[in-house]
Amino acid sequence: MKITIDNFEISTCTAIAIEAEDAERQPALFIHNVNDEFCDGDCVVFGYAMPEDMDDIRNIFSDCFAYTSDYETLETVILDD
């Protein structure tokens, strides 16, 4: 599933939280900032449902333990169909 809210494309996915030293694939959200000029605005969010509005996105980003932009974790992302 993929939605767009303002400047963010959000897709359901699975990923491995390498930064947290997890070894198992788990459900997550892949968030891409479409206005990101340098292609470094992607992140993976664990433990949240698909956001419905910008308030939900702000809540996700206010929880600094929920998301990671770690390159190794981003490499494990498999987008859902």
Say yes or no to pLDDT of 79 above 90.
yes
Question: Any idea which residue has 């929880």 for tokens?
Answer: 63
What is the pLDDT at residue 54? 87
Amino acid at 39: C
Helix/strand/coil for 18: helix
What is the pLDDT at residue 75? 93
Q: Each residue of 8-54: pLDDT tens digit? A: 899 999 999 987 787 899 999 999 988 887 767 789 999 889 999 98
The domain ranges of the chain are 2-73
| pTM of structure | 0.85
Q: What stretch of H or E contains 55? A: helix 54-62
